[in-house]
Structures are given as C-alpha cells and as structure tokens.
Amino acid sequence: MCGIAGYIGPRQAAPVLLEALKKLEYRGYDSAGIALIEDGHIQVRKARGRLQHLMDITSGGMETPGHVGIGHTRWATHGEPSDRNSHPHLSNDERFAVVHNGIIENFRQLKEMLISRGYHFHSDTDSEVISNLMQEYDQGSLVETLAAAAVHLEGSYALGVLSLDEPGAIAALRKDSPLIIGRGEGENYLVSDIPAIISHTRDVYLLEDGEIALMTDSEVSFFDAYGAPIGKKVFHVDWDVSAAEKGGFEHFMMKEIMEQPQALQETIRPRIKDGRIDLSELGLEGGWLKALHTIHIVACGSAYHAGRLGKNLIEMSARIPVTVEIASEFRYSDPILQPDHLVILVSQSGETADSIAALREAKRQGVKTLAIVNVLGSTIAREADHVLYTWAGPEIAVATTKAYTAQVAALVLFSGYIAQERGSAYAPRLNILAEALLKLPEVARQVLDDHSRVQYLASLFFNHRDIYFIGRGIDYSLSLEGSLKLKEISYIHSEAQPAGELKHGTISLIQPGTLVIALATQKKLRDKMLSNIQEVRARGAVVLSIAARGDKEIAAVSDHFIGIPPLSDELEPILAVMPLQLFAYYVAALNGNDVDKPRNLAKSVTVE
C-alpha cells in the first residue's frame, strides 16, 4: 500500500526514483510524484493516475534535474485521487518536502492547530500536516526536527523527508509501516520494499519502529526516537534478481502461479528428514507442545483462508481446538488468551498492519506467538517468538498465489509436526503424509503443465455477473480463496458457501445459467457433495466441478469437470486451488483488466 523511494548520489535522481516506483506499482496506488533539490529549491512533479503519466510529463525524469530526491505512489485514504492530493507535500515555506505511507489518526486536531497559527493547506490529505509540523518545530537539524514533529503524530507512518537547510541529505522515520535503506557505493537508497532496489544493491538496513535514518551519498546514520545515535547491522538480500522480474510472462501473476511447484519444494523438502516432519527450527519444546490447549490463527485476506485450512488440518490431526480470526476483528475483540495457548500469525509480507497489532496484543498478554511469513526480516518475523518461513520468494502480483499455497503447505507441516510430537492417534498416518508432501511439488507441476482446459472454461464464463463456489470442510475453506481470487481481479460478484448451507438462503439466488463451481476433493464428504451438486443443477445452475481425476460420478452430475491427480485429503486442496487461480487469471485477462494491479487493492495493507 503506497510506495516510497529516495535516492542520493552522483546520478540524476529522478530516473532512479521513477525506476524504483515502477517496481513498487504492485503495492497499489492512484497517483505518483517526486521531489528533488536543485539550485536552492525543492522541485515537485506529481500527477494523478498511473506512474507512466508522471514518466511521460517528465520524459522519464530527464527533465527534472537534481541528485537528491524522494518519490511516492499514493493509495488514497484522505482526499480523492488528484494531482493536489498526490505526494510529496511541501511545507508552507517550501523548505521541507515529505512523502508518507500510513495514516495520521490525529491529523484533524493537528491541522486545526496549524491553521490557527497561520498555516495554509493545499490538499485534503492527512500527510500534509507532517511537512508543516516540520516547519513549525524546526530545530535547525533535520534529524532533530523530524523527531520533534513525530512527537505530535498518532497513527502509522513511514516518512521520507527533504530539507533545503540540509540539501545533501534525506531523512527517514518509521512507525508501523515498512521502510528500508539500501547501501550502495557512493550512493544510498530509501524504499518501502526490497524489490525496488534489488538491481542496485543487496545490502540493506531494516528500520525498526521509532528509528530515524539520515542518508548522505557516502554514509547512513541512525538515531532513536529522541535523536540519540544508534548502531544497525546490514542485512544481505540473497534473492535472485530475476525473481522480481516477469521472466517472459505477460503478468507477474501468471509467473507466480507457475512458480508454485518450486515454492512448495523450497518450503517442504528441507523440513522432511528420514520420513519425519522436522520443525525443530521453531524451537518449540516438546513438553510445551504436549500441554498446548488452544491455537488461535490470525490473518487477513488469502492468509485468513489459508488459516481456515490450517484449522481443519490441525483439528483433524492433532485434536487441538483452533479458532481462526480476521486480524482486524481479533485486535478489538478483547481476546481470551491463556499461557497454554498459541497465536499463529499468517502473512505474506509480514507487514500487515492489523496482523502486527494482533501479534502485539498476544505478546502483551504473555502468549507465545508463531509467525508464518514469506518475507525475511519483516516486522512480524522479527517480533514473533517463533518463525516458520514459507520460502516462496518475492511475490509481486497483488493477488497472491504461490505465497498462499506455501502458507497452506507450512500449515500442513505444522499440523503434522504437532500431531507427531504429541503422539496423537493421527501419528501413524504421518509417514504417508510425509511421502505425499515430497511428491507434492512434482504433482503440482503436472496440474500446471496443461491449463488449456481452464483457459477454455474461462472463455465460456468470463462475462458472467454472478458466480458461486461451494464445498464442505476443507473444500469450503478452499472455496473462499477461489471466490476471493476471482472477485479481486475480475471484479465479478462471487460468493463462497458451505455446500450444506445452500438450502438456508443462498440457493434462492440460483437460477438457470448461474455458474456454480463445486469443490469435491474430500473423500469422506464426496457423497454429500454429489447431492449438493444435484440440488443446484435441479434449479438450472451450470456446474463446474473440481475433484480427483477419474471420479466418474462427480463428472457425470457436472456440466464441466476438472480432474486433479489423486494424492491425499490433506494435500489435494493445494492442487485444487491452482485451476481456480488460473480460472480467475484468464477471466480477468479476457475482461481486459490489469491483472497484476487490480483496482482499489494493495499488496501490503499497512493501514487499518
């Protein structure tokens, strides 16, 4: 959500900033802007709409001189998308320029105070108060001024700041929104996510909450919230640069769908040793696991759907009660937590604001926390007591695919591990599960190798206005993800329902020609799904079913059928989601949508 870029060094800054912002487009935005220091002035260029518009009016940045600058892609929270609401924002005296990710919760009070002191505002944003606070509390030092202004801010923020009084520096401050410093040779970078600078440097500093950074072209200094100097260690990024590029695919989403076998292999294979699931890396003591009473899985969006699958798996294998809660609800629900509980946070980015708040609430109550995350060194990874990385690699498309399946695989591993350590009645199945897990990446590759049938089915249904997904048990949890994937990139209304709940209301919406996608991967519930499919077909629905390859009965009662290789009840949902991802992708593409950057959405949601 929003993107920040900053550059200081020997090169012309504007093209570097625009290149970095281009690589942050996946975060979601509706306007873009840059500010540069040149000849004693801060020059600002900004525009509503896609970054390409800003690139066009600045000739790729070549018409905007200066070697020190900051840039921003804005996702509107306060004030409509417009040129004047775009970042950067200048102070009234035009000596400070600020870019801001996050939300200033007390901006109205601050704005009223500043207006009473003679300040004028040129935007409807919450962010403009920051640049004027910098002017109001100017201490004669950029770091001290930023620290003095931040005392008055409530909310979440990642800030990049220019000052005419220190034209050879960029200051940065982070609270609850990610911010990263890239260290180069005679040049330094400021970004909100690593992919923006991975082609320039692999050495980065990860700012913690309350920390201030001051960048010049030759060094970076760090300070605490009070302006006192502190030290920081360099973090070396070992991603393959090509992982953040499209690699010949038309969209990042398709590339990432096709990367799922590799992501699954990286997540699974190192954790199965001699036929056993080995999660000793977590550092969870066997005695504590045996005494574990309740698990709370907390997440948002697709990670929440992965968590629902995790609940199904953990309760089935380890016989431990599991609650799954949306992070934004968990933090305000006054959760009842006990010392023998475990809170699991599931997040691709590790920077999701509501999940971070939920993590901190759990820690405040003294409960052990486990993070399942994809991004090394992210806030959730750093603050959780234990971390299980998914190793899916960089995921650029807003709609998650490989990170989701890697999260489900991690939860399968965890469910099997605690069943193993607790000696549950499920334990004798674990050798079979471990063997199936090792086969999973190759079987997933088979599912993805031939997707021409899914593309054909998408061509039949891409113009439908309403699509329903049904399933039972694990398949219902899976149907939630299939429905979300479709609606978020195709903009088609879609709902997921437990198949047995249809008759309690939703079936009234089924009429001749309505598409119903039925998931039937669970053997023990298969006969029930046969009945539910017949229920909707009797009311005129067109049914597309996904079940194990060779299931003639499911195929016979369906209008269209996609078969997936049989593996195990625990793992077939990972395989079944892949045709759903492909279906959503092709439907969106056939409708001419921007698949990687769907409207109104952001990759990393860092505000409430």
- Report how far apart, in Å, the C-alpha atoms of 484 and of each of 164, 480, 592 are: 47, 6, 18
Asked if the domains at 247-448 and 450-594 fall in one CATH topology, the answer is yes
Residue 37: per-residue pLDDT: 96
Q: Which CATH superfamily is domain 3-238 in?
A: Aminohydrolase, N-terminal nucleophile (Ntn) domain (3.60.20.10)
Per-residue pLDDT at 413 exceeds 70 = yes
Say how many C-beta atoms besides its own lie within 10 A of residue 566's C-beta. 17
Say how many C-beta atoms besides its own lie within 10 A of residue 231's C-beta. 6
Three-state SS across 360-421? HHHHHCCCEEEEEECCCCCHHHHHCCEEEECCCCCCCCCCCCHHHHHHHHHHHHHHHHHHHH
Give the active site residue among 2, 175, 368, 485: 2
Per-residue pLDDT at 230 exceeds 80 = yes
Per the annotation, the verdict on 603 as an active-site residue is: yes
Per-residue pLDDT at 530 exceeds 80 = yes
Which DSSP letter does residue 282 get?
G
CA nearest neighbour of 513 among 461, 570, 473, 549: 461
Per-residue pLDDT at 78 exceeds 80 = no
pLDDT grade for 606, boundaries at 50, 70 and 90:
low
pLDDT grade for 244, boundaries at 50, 70 and 90:
low
pTM: 0.78
Per-residue pLDDT at 178 exceeds 90 = no
pLDDT grade for 516, boundaries at 50, 70 and 90:
very high
Strand, coil or helix: 18: helix
pLDDT tens across 106-150, in order? 989 999 999 999 999 999 898 999 999 999 999 999 999 999 999
Per-residue pLDDT at 440 exceeds 80 = yes
Tokens encoding 436: 């199936």
Residue 144: per-residue pLDDT: 95
- Report how far apart, in Å, the C-alpha atoms of 191 and of each of 3, 88, 188 are: 7, 14, 10
- CATH architecture classification, 450-594: 3-Layer(aba) Sandwich (3.40)
Per-residue pLDDT at 396 exceeds 90 = no
- Report how far apart, in Å, the C-alpha atoms of 587 and of each of 399, 424, 449, 485 are: 14, 44, 19, 11
DSSP 236-281: E----GGGGS-TT-SSHHHHHHHTHHHHHHHHHGGGEETTEE--GG
Burial class (CB in 10 A: 0-12, 13-18, 19+), 438: middle
pLDDT grade for 213, boundaries at 50, 70 and 90:
very high
Give the active site residue among 23, 46, 402, 603: 603
Instruction: For domain 247-448, give the CATH number.
Output: 3.40.50.10490
Residue 1: per-residue pLDDT: 56
Q: What are phi and psi of 223, to 5 degrees?
A: -140, 155
pLDDT tens across 188-211, in order? 999 988 888 888 998 999 998 899
Contact by Cβ (8 Å): 114, 132: yes
Mean pLDDT value of segment 272-288: 91
DSSP 448-515: HH--HHHHHHHHHHTT-SEEEEEE-THHHHHHHHHHHHHHHHH--EEEEEEGGGGGGTGGGG--TT-E
Mean pLDDT value of segment 66-89: 85
Percent of the chain residues past pLDDT 70, beyond the cut: 97
Three-state SS across 491-502? CCEEEEEEHHHH
For the chain, the domains span 3-238, 247-448, 450-594
Residue 482: per-residue pLDDT: 97
